[in-house]
């Protein structure tokens, strides 16, 4: 017999039929008059995380919201402002969540501070909404309206508060009331303290106090939680044997040889990542006219990788 009960899955199941922690994100977009308009959102998650040529988030939004309407009008730049817990923040964030207010009405009593992001410095010609200064991190993004031909949705007009078909699967107007937006991350802005923590190799006590949202749950309240103390848990190392790594290394490229001491340095790489790591080493060797990778070259490759990770 199961130890679980079967719960009916209904609309907005993430907040009506489950316990689902989400980020609290204030999203800035450009209103018609070029001013910054900010709405509150939680359904905003990583979408393309590697191997796609760019990185992207996905936002799930009511398609009649100001945010969606600004994007669907072709003003495709947005800023995702990730909010920490702070004095009075819940109230101010929920105030930006009232459906139906115009951007001007909403922004009249906006409780946070707006400032320029970092994209505008590099590319002053592209109009960008301002970012929320109280955020611990901000992703300045652009809606990828070419995916799934969602640009055809630009300029579509709401009829009686909702969109008639056709609907797309994952980008643009996806249902009568909903829209999904795949947002390319143009820049990741991070407050110096948390930036330093990532560069230095993260310490739990230097984590931002991420405001966790558990959704609108009892037809009355948005439920929030602060970040609890973070506890690290080491991934147990499963070292491969030198001979098994040698087997893979010798089959990676006939012109590049790995010495034993070089392979010793990658024994703890999980098996499924080993071909990628070896191919990366071979690529480096070819770029540098190297035919034998010893511990010295492996160290250079590792340092380069570490540097790329911490760039910024």
Which positions lie near ligand FMN, rule CB under 6 A? 24, 37, 39-43, 60-62, 65-67, 93-94, 97-99, 106, 213, 222
Supply the minimum distance, in Å, between the C-beta of residue 194 and ligand FMN.
Answer: 21
Facing residues of 140 across strands? 79, 187
Q: Which is nearer to ligand FMN, 5 or 108 (CB)?
A: 108
Contact 49, 55 (CB under 8 A): yes
**How far is it between the farthest Cα atoms of the chain?**
70
Nearer to ligand FMN (CB atom), residue 43 or residue 141: 43
E strands of 24-128, at which residues?
25-30, 36-41, 44-48, 56-62, 77-82, 114-115
Is 18 or 244 the residue whose CB approaches ligand FMN more closely?
18
Cis peptide before 155 (omega within 30 of 0): no
Which of 103, 208 has the CB closer to ligand FMN? 103
76 neighbors 208 (Cβ within 8 angstroms): no
Closest to ligand FMN by CB, 66 vs 174, is 66
For 87, which DSSP code?
Answer: T
* Nearest-CB residue for ligand FMN: 39
User: Shortest Cβ distance from residue 61 to ligand FMN (Å)?
Assistant: 4
- Write the DSSP symbol of residue 293: E
What backbone torsions phi and psi does residue 192 show, to the nearest 5 degrees?
A: -50, -40
> 26 near 94, Cβ under 8 Å?
no
CB of 106 to ligand FMN, least distance (A): 6
For residues 221 and 244, which CB has a smaller minimum distance to ligand FMN in the complex? 221
CB nearer to ligand FMN: pick between 208 and 215: 215
Q: In angstroms, rounded to a whole number, what is the distance separating the alpha carbons of residues 106 and 104?
A: 5
Question: What are the residues facing 273 on neighbouring strands?
Answer: none
Radius of gyration of the chain (CA): 24
Give strand pairing partners of 48.
56
CB of 161 to ligand FMN, least distance (A): 13
Span between the terminal Cα atoms of the chain, in Å: 53
For the CB of residue 52, give the shortest distance to ligand FMN in the complex, in Å: 23
CB of 306 to ligand FMN, least distance (A): 36
Give me the least distance between CB of 222 and ligand FMN, in Å please. Answer: 5
Structure tokens at 39: 């709405």
């Amino acid at each position: 017999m199961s130890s679980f009960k079967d719960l009916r899955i209904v609309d907005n199941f993430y907040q009506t039929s489950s316990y689902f922690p989400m980020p609290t994100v204030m999203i800035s977009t450009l209103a018609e008059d070029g001013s910054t308009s900010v709405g509150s959102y939680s359904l905003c998650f990583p979408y393309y995380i590697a191997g796609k040529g760019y990185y992207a988030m996905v936002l799930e939004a009511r398609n009649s919201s100001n945010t969606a309407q600004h994007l669907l009008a072709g003003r495709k730049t947005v800023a995702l402002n990730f909010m920490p817990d702070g004095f009075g923040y819940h109230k101010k964030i929920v105030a930006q969540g009232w459906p139906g207010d115009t951007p001007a009405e909403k922004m009249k009593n906006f409780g946070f501070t707006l400032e320029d992001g970092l994209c505008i410095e590099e590319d002053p010609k592209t109009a960008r909404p301002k970012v929320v200064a109280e955020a611990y991190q901000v992703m300045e993004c652009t809606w990828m309206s070419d995916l799934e031909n969602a640009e055809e949705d630009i300029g579509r007009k709401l009829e009686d508060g909702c969109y008639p078909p056709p609907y797309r699967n994952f980008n643009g107007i996806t249902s009568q009331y909903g829209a999904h937006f795949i947002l390319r991350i143009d820049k990741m802005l991070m407050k110096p303290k948390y930036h330093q923590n990532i560069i230095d190799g993260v310490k739990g006590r230097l984590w931002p106090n991420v405001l966790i949202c558990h959704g609108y749950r009892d037809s009355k309240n948005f439920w929030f939680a602060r970040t609890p103390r973070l506890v690290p848990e080491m991934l147990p190392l499963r070292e491969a044997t030198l001979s098994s790594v040698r087997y893979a290394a010798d089959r990676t490229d006939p012109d590049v040889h790995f010495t034993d001491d070089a392979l010793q340095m990658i024994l703890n790489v999980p098996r499924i990542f080993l071909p990628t790591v070896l191919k990366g080493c071979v690529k480096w060797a070819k770029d540098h006219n190297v035919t034998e990778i010893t511990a010295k070259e492996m160290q250079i490759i590792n340092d380069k990788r570490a540097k790329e990770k911490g760039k910024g």
